[in-house]
Amino acid sequence: MKNVKNRKRFAKKRKAEGDFHYTCKKHQSLLRRRLGDSDPILQENKIVNLTIAAKRIDGVIIRPGEVFSFWGLVGRATRKKGYIEGMQLSRGEVKTGVGGGICQLANLLYWMVLHTPITVVERHHHSFDPFPDEGRVLPFGSGASVFYNYVDLRFKNTTEYTFQIRVWVDERHLKGAVYANKEIGKSYHIEERAHQFYKKDGKNFRQNEIWRRTVDKRTGEYMHEELLIKNDSEVKYEVIEKQFVNVND
């Protein structure tokens, strides 16, 4: 009901080219990465799904006051649209489902938007850590979980700038960039703090904090810092004993 009432506020227009010459953030993530003992075929299927989903988002323009909705642009992932079986995470377990793997696209979008003045208004994350850090380049817990259609990734342009998002897939990476129509006088730096593994009630957990620092581009001085995320998730894989810290129950 809320979506119907506010549909005019959602970003829908896409352009292949535009007057967006100022880069806010670029990022890329590997398409193939060892994830525990999961079937490698699921990663190949994921690439198919990511290619389809990325085309639904690539070029979208977010004007002042507009809201980006992941599912509003991607829609339901169905076989009719070309999606196939891929990896999905549900309550800490690896499962398969049509369209599986497109969370990687949500992760990329969320990470890029954190480096802009755009305001995140809806973001979810997995309550479990299912795989060890083989090949991880971003801090633990800095991604975004999506599940059609009520677990969404949304952010609102509360600025005077207009932004464009580009996302695409090449042979090895999912790539993306956020551009603005004018120069933004700030840059944003994301860092992890207070990371640790610990045991509680016979289970393994992992926690950390994700902070963002805002920097004045002209002077290079820090203007502001804020706590964005505080993660505390059950670990679903073996952890080396020396990585643990002692935590009182």
Residue 249 has pLDDT above 50, yes or no: no
Cα 185 from chain centre: 24
214 vs 91 pLDDT, higher one: 214
Helix axes 40-57, 103-113, angle to 10 degrees: 50
Question: How many C-beta neighbours within 10 Å does residue 142 have?
Answer: 19
150 vs 91 pLDDT, higher one: 150
In tens, the pLDDT along 24-33 reads 999 999 998 7
Q: Which amino acid belongs to residue 137? A: V
Residue 218 backbone class (left: φ over 0; alpha: ψ -120 to 50; beta: rest): alpha
In tens, the pLDDT along 67-92 reads 999 999 999 999 999 999 998 877 66
Cα 47 from chain centre: 16
Q: Which amino acid belongs to residue 125? A: H
Mean pLDDT (whole number) for 161-186: 96
Question: How many C-beta neighbours within 10 Å does residue 227 have?
Answer: 10
The structural domains of the chain, with segments of one domain joined by +, span 2-183
Q: What is the pTM of this model?
A: 0.91
| CA-wise closest residue to 116 among 193, 249, 27, 221 | 27
The two tokens of residue 16 are 């292949």
Residues, the chain: 249
Residue 124 has pLDDT above 90, yes or no: yes
Residue 71 backbone class (left: φ over 0; alpha: ψ -120 to 50; beta: rest): alpha
In tens, the pLDDT along 88-115 reads 877 667 788 999 999 999 999 999 999 9
